[in-house]
Structure formats: structure tokens, C-alpha cells
Chains A and B, each alone.
Chain A
Amino acid sequence: MATLLDKLWAAHEIRAEHGQSLLWVDRHLVHEGSHHAFAKLAERGLEVAEPGLTFGVADHYAPTRNRARIDDPQVAMMLERLESNCARHGIRLFGLHDPRQGIVHVLGPEQGLTLPGLLINCGDSHTSTHGAFGALGFGIGATQVAHVLATQTIWQARPRAMRIRFEGTAGLAVAAKDMALHWISQLGTGGAAGHAVEYAGSAVRALSMEGRMTLCNLSIEGGARFGMVAPDAVTMAYVKGRTMAPKGADWDAAAAYWQTLQSDADAVFDREVSFDMAEVAPTVTWGTTPDQALPIGASLPDPARLEGAQAEAARDAMDYMGLTPGRPLEGTPVDQVFLGSCTNGRIDDLRAAAAVLRGRKAKVPGLVSPGSMLVKRQAEAEGLDKVFTEAGLEWTASGCSMCVGMNGDLVAPGKRCASSTNRNFRGRQGKGARTHLMSPAMVAAAAVTGTLTDVRPLLEGRG
């Protein structure tokens, strides 16, 4: 009667004391932001315990336009620091000019570094993405990054187990992003705090690995550090043959073990929530927290009709977002669009956006940054880049780009952006930027009409 969480936890626990477990880390991914951790290591004269299980990725500061010459000295310094830290410790780096470079949560799965049954850490909160394979993936802070570098282990209190089910069939243009925004809007940004979420139900089983990654990625926006989906045939098919995935006898042993990685039928969860797919529509955020989200057909809330702190938060958010209470969400003009990020920068996402944009022009400017250089090449092989550029959008190299703006891809103050990313926080995409989160297809629809729009009519008559 064990949950998937129980099984994964037990498989990694070295010791337990005072309510904390010391866990073995199978993969540790570092990026430019890990410089604080390397500095801590240097301060103490420590070496990296397992360079063979540690991988470096240039993504947060990766320029998406010109890689030959980096004008911003700060960006250049961050990339150089990562390079020298990886070189100094013998860590394999997927650097700026590596043909496999990409966002850490896109690259890991793509390279076969992410596997069912592993414990994966990265100094980034969206490490929950990797749980889509039936792994323990969770984000950690710089002190913990230094700890993993030095010991290949991490202290962690076991979260409570929560199961979120999605039953039924997804309606037209309803994507994993909509499922995630839906549950977060229902349970709140702290709704799953202290819990590891296992996603289950027929609609989760029906998702591709890309969709499952989107769902697990956004777990943290509902407060959960861990999101998980039990591995199945879809998982196996995705992993098999990836560069660093197990081969031969190792594959057989792994595949046999992975069969056991699911919650037992009689497993008891601390919390269970269930959603009917009939209730999930294309969803858009209107505020400055991911739970301030509504189906595209809805009207903005009226703070006067909310209570206490809720009302204040809504008033505050609407003020920042420049929106009028009670008005319909649909039709709100946008200034630009962004397609990309570790949430929705995978090939499935680009295909979904291109299906809307094909043969159409964008009314507003926009940036498309594929989640990895492999995604970029795949998209180009399918001619998707042409669809984007012919629509008038900019097709760039891979990186975190406008999700966080560290590389200089920013939304200007007061500008409104329809974005496939994960955070609509104040200033996230740039100081004063106004972000609306939505699925890639919905971003494409916003590009075509220049407003927040229901994508469904735009798909009529399209395969």
C-alpha cells in the first residue's frame, strides 16, 4: 500500500533523523545561477563529489539572438563563470555553442539524463518537471546546491502525498497548460504546499511526455515542490534510445524496475482532488499570481464582490495589470507575444502554436525561442520556423529568454505580453511588464488577433 512517493523515497534514503532524510542524488544539474554554490565550495576548498553525475547547462543567460558576440558584460561574465566552474571540476557542460544546448528542464529529458526512478536536483524551482518520468525532481537553493556538489546527497523532509486526478477527455485546444492553470486557480498558489503531487487519471495518461512535463513543471506554482506521473509505455517510448539513457542489459534491468514505480491500488494519500475535464477550458491568467486565472470566456472579477485579502489582492493585481474589473477577458489588447520556456518550449508546443499561425499574420510582434537547440532543429525540419517567420514572429536560438529576462530579452514597462511561460509575477518579464500566461495555441491566437482570444474558432476546419 505504498504511494509512488513512498517507493521513490525509500529507494534513495541513506539515513533518517529528526524528521529529515539524507537522500542520494542521481543527477545534479547546474546552470549560470549556481555561481553562489561554486563560490561556497571554493571558500571551503571542497571538490565536487560526483562530477560524472553532475551536468552543466547554459540557459538562464543564454543570448537568443547573437551568440557570436555578447555585448552585455554581465551576461558574458555569467556564462564564463559557469564554463570555468565546470572545467575546474570536470563537469560535462552543455555550453552556449553545444548543438544540444537548451533549457535545463528540456535538455535533461531530451538527452536521457532524466529517467524514471531517479532523484534529480537543480537549483531551479521548475525541477519538478522531471517528475513527469516518475522521478523525484525538486528545486533547491544555493546552499543545498553546494551541499549536493560536495556530498551527492541532500537532506529533505518527506512531503505529504497528494493525488490530483483529471478524468475524462480534453476538449478542443485544451492542453496540459490549461489543466495546470485550472487546478492552481481552484486550489490557490499555496494549495499544494508541503505536498508532492502525483497526477493521475485518464486525461493524464492520455498526455504525451511533453504534456506531462508541462503539468509537472507548473506544480511549483501551486506550491508543490514535486510533481509526478507514474511511468508507462508512453514514458518508455520517450526514453528508449536517448543518448545517455541505459542501453542493452542496463535497459532491461531498468525497464523491469520501472514497472514497479506506481502507487499501489490501496495506497493512501494525505490529500486527493479530482477534476473533470469537461470543466477545463482554455485558461488565461489575468493577475500577478498564477492562481489568478480564468477560462477565456469569463469576465474579470470585481474586487468589490470579493472578501478581505482576496479583494485587496485582486484590486492590486488589476491595478498593476491595467485591467478594468468586470470586463470580459477576451478582447483585451496585447502588445506582444512570447513562445518558449521550460513550460512550453518543446516540439509539441511549437506544433500547437504553428497549427494556429499557419498561413496567418501576427498583428503584434513576438519572439519564439525553442526550448533547446534540438527542438529548434526538429522544428526547422518540419518547416515550423517558416510558419512563425512568415507570420511575422522572430525565430531565435534557445534559452530561458523572456521567461525571466536575464539575457536581456525583456518586455518593456507597461507592455502586455501573451506568454507561454509559468510566472505572471510583477516584473518577472521585465520591470513593469504585464504577463498573461496561457497555452502555446492560445499565445498563437493572441498573436493572430492582437488580443486575448479563444483559440477554438481559429482552429475550425484545421486538422
Chain B
Amino acid sequence: MAGWSIHEGQAVVLDRRDVDTDQLIPARFMSASRAEGYGRFLLHDLREGDAEFPLRRHPEASVLIAGPNFGCGSSREAAVYALVDAGIRVVVAESFADIFAGNAVNNGLLTIATPEAAALRAAIGMGTAPACIDLASRRLSVAGSEQSFELTETAQAKLINGWDDIDLTRAHAGEIRNFRDRRKTDHAWTWPSR
């Protein structure tokens, strides 16, 4: 996955709270392999019957301003694939479900949790607004307002470098082996009996 440090694009509003993963991608699409592309599944059933749906009116948008508790529900990473494959790089909301936020970072998608989300939704309304996100300085500017956001060092490094945890972890292979050996001696019962 390619990393990124600055993103400029158009922000669009999804004025809903509790956008769950079943809405982000209905279960029936989840057997597709990633190579087929997940973008067309994004919010499929919500946008299908609604010509005014924000992402239909502004398919070029790459920054989504949504409501609280975004991404709640299942651990399906396909919800993140659908966003990323539809061209979304950043989601801004009051809050995110924990698993979703973790999955997002692993796929180059930035989640910005901020109480300002409501004001941004009101400012942008049904239209779009130019947005700029800088990972290095942790700054978000959109619809004429500018603010900083929180981002852990780990998440920042992963997004900028497109890093994958597997490589990072394998650098600790020795430590892991030692831990395993100790566990096998001290807590042999943790291995399943057959």
C-alpha cells in the first residue's frame, strides 16, 4: 500500500450517525476478492434508491464528513475497502468505532475524530468544499476552517510510509520466540490438548 503525507480533495457530507458496517457494505457483497474492486459496494443500499445521495452527486469527493459512531458493527475490513476503493482518503466524524478505526489505518484511510464534525456538516451542507489534510503537522483545513487533529505516532508513521505491521513485527522475531518458549514452559496448559 502506498503512503501519503498531504491530501487535497473535495469534502462531502454524510449526515448520519451510527453508519454501521452493514450499511457501508452489505454482507452479500463480501465474497468478492479485493482485485475486483469494492468501490461500487460502498453504502450500496442507502445510495441505490436516492439520486440525491451525497456520494452520487459528488463521486469525485475524497473526504467524507460523517456523524458520530462511524463504522460501528462488525469487524469487516471490507467496509474500509469500499471507502478506499471509492476514492475516500479521509473520514471526519465526532467518533469512530474502535475496530473500524484500526482497520482504516491499516489501509491508508485516515479517521479524524473531532467534535467540530457537526459544524463542518452544517457549513458544507449538500455541496462540497475543498479540503486539505497534512499528516506531518496533523492539520485539517476544510470549508474555510482550520484545526489540528490527534493522531498517534504509530498511525502517523503507518499512513505516511504505507507500512505494514507484519514487517515491523518480524523485526522482533527473537523476542517473540523467547516469549513463546517461556509460555510453553510456564503455561503448557495454554496449548490445546487433543
List chain A positions with a Cβ less than 8 A from chain B: 14-15, 18-20, 22, 24, 26-27, 33, 35-36, 39, 44, 46, 52-53, 61, 74, 77-78, 112-113, 115, 117-118, 123-125, 127, 139-144, 146-147, 150-153, 155, 157, 159, 189-190, 193-194, 220, 223, 225, 244-247, 250-251, 253-254, 257, 288-289, 309, 313, 316, 404-406, 423, 425-428, 431-432
The closest CB in chain A to the CB of B72 belongs to: A189
**Contact of A250 with B30 at beta-carbon distance under 8 Å, contacts A141-B75, A225-B98, A431-B45 already known:** no
CB distance B22 to A313 under 8 Å? Answer: no
Chain A residues near B45 (CB, 8 Å)? Answer: 426-427, 431-432
Q: Flag whether B188 is at the interface (Cβ < 8 A).
A: yes
Binds A, one of B3-11, B51-59, B102-110: B102-110
Contact B189 A253 (CB under 8 A): yes
Chain A residues contacting B176 (CB-CB under 8 Å) are 14, 22, 24, 151-153
Q: Across the interface, which residues of A come within 8 angstroms of B179, CB to CB?
A: 14, 24
Q: Is the CB of A144 within 8 A of B102?
A: yes
Closest 5 CB pairs of A and B: A141-B103, A143-B106, A141-B77, A246-B189, A142-B77
Using A124-B75, A190-B68 as known contacts, say yes or no to A53 and B191 having CB atoms under 8 A apart: yes
**Complex contact A193–B106 (CB within 8 A):** no
The number of residue pairs between A and B whose CB atoms lie closer than 8 Å in the complex comes to 183
Chain B: CB-nearest residue to A155: B165
Residues of B within 8 A of A309 (CB): 17, 67-68, 118
Instruction: Report yes or no: B189 in contact with A313, Cβ–Cβ below 8 A.
Output: no
Asked whether, in the complex, the Cβ of B166 is within 8 Å of the Cβ of A46, the reply is: yes
In the complex, chain B residues 25-51 whose Cβ is within 8 Å of any chain A Cβ: 26-28, 30-31, 33-34, 45-46
Task: Give the interface centre of B20, B46, B168 by most chain A CB atoms within 10 Å.
Answer: B20
15 sampled A-B residue pairs with Cβ under 8 A: A14-B179, A26-B190, A36-B78, A78-B31, A117-B190, A124-B75, A144-B106, A155-B169, A190-B68, A190-B69, A257-B187, A406-B27, A406-B30, A423-B20, A427-B26
With A123-B75, A309-B17, A427-B23 known as contacts, the answer to whether A225 contacts B99 (CB < 8 A) is yes
Q: Which residue on chain A has the smallest CB distance to residue B20? A: A425
Quick check: B30 and A33 within 8 Å, CB to CB?
Answer: yes
What is the chain A residue whose CB lies nearest that of B118? A309
Measured CB to CB, the closest approach of chain B to A433, in angstroms, equals: 11
B73 at the interface (CB under 8 A from A): yes
What separation, in Å, do the CA atoms of A254 and B107 have in the docked complex? Answer: 39
A18's contact among B34, B153, B189, by CB below 8 Å, is which?
B153
Give the distance to chain B from A349, nearest Cβ to Cβ, in Å.
21
Q: Can you name 15 extra interface pairs (CB under 8 A) apart from A190-B72, A190-B95?
A: A19-B153, A20-B154, A24-B180, A36-B77, A127-B75, A139-B75, A141-B102, A144-B102, A190-B97, A193-B95, A309-B68, A406-B27, A406-B28, A423-B20, A432-B45
From residue B39, how far is it (CB to closest CB) to chain A in Å?
16
Nearest-neighbour CB distance to chain B for A233, whole angstroms, equals 18
Partner of B190, one of A19, A115, A193: A115
Does B18 sit within 8 A of A, measured CB to CB? yes
Residues of A with C-beta under 8 A to B46? 426
- For B191, what are the chain A residues with a Cβ–Cβ distance below 8 Å? 52-53
How distant is A434 from chain B, measured CB to nearest CB, in Å?
A: 14
Give the one of A44, A52, A220 with max B CB within 10 A.
Answer: A220
List the A residue with the shortest CB-CB distance to B70.
Answer: A190
Bound together, the chains give a CA A223 to CA B18 distance in angstroms of 11
In the complex, how many angstroms separate the beta carbon of B158 from the nearest chain A beta carbon? Answer: 10
Which residues of chain B from 136 to 158 have any CB-CB distance to chain A below 8 Å in the complex? 152-154
Indicate with 1 or 0, residue by residue over B64-94, a CB within 8 angstroms of chain A CB atoms.
0001110011111110100000000000000
Which chain B residues border A220 with CB–CB below 8 Å? 99
**B108-137 to A contact mask, C-beta < 8 Å, 1/0:** 000000000010000000000000000000
Q: Are B22 and A423 in contact (CB under 8 A)?
A: yes
Closest to A78 in B: B31
- Whether A223 touches B97, Cβ cut-off 8 Å, given contacts A144-B102, A406-B27, A425-B22, is yes
Cross-chain contact A18 with B27 (CB below 8 angstroms): no
Q: Are A193 and B152 CB-contacts (below 8 A) given A117-B190, A244-B192, A289-B18?
A: no
- Measured CB to CB, the closest approach of chain B to A332, in angstroms, equals 22
Chain A positions within 8 Å of B73 at CB level: 125, 423, 425
Chain A residues near B74 (CB, 8 Å)? Answer: 124-125, 139, 423
Chain B residues with Cβ under 8 A from A52's Cβ?
Answer: 191-192
Compute how far the CA of A316 lies from the CA of B22 in the bound complex, rounded to whole angstroms: 17
Distance, CA A139 to CA B102, complexed state (A): 11
Q: Which residues of B contact A142 (CB under 8 A)?
A: 77-78, 103
Q: Chain B contacts of A39 at CB under 8 A?
A: 33-34
Query: Chain B nearest CB: distance from A75 CB in Å?
Result: 8
A113/B180 in contact, CB under 8 A: no
Cα distance A253–B140 in the bound complex, in angstroms: 54
Contact A141 B106 (CB under 8 A): yes
Q: Are A247 and B30 in contact (CB under 8 A)?
A: no
Report whether A140 and B166 are in contact in the complex, using a CB–CB cutoff of 8 Å: no
Write out the residue numbers on chain A whose beta carbons fall within 8 Å of the beta carbon of B77: 36, 141-143
User: A113 to B107, alpha carbons, bound, how many Å?
Assistant: 31
- Which of A24, A118, A140, A155 is within 8 Å of B75, CB to CB? A140
> What residues of A have a CB within 8 angstroms of the CB of B67 in the complex?
309
Least Cβ–Cβ distance between A423 and chain B, in angstroms: 6
Task: With a 10 A CB-CB cut-off, give which of B80, B165, B180, B188 has the most chain A CB atoms.
Answer: B165
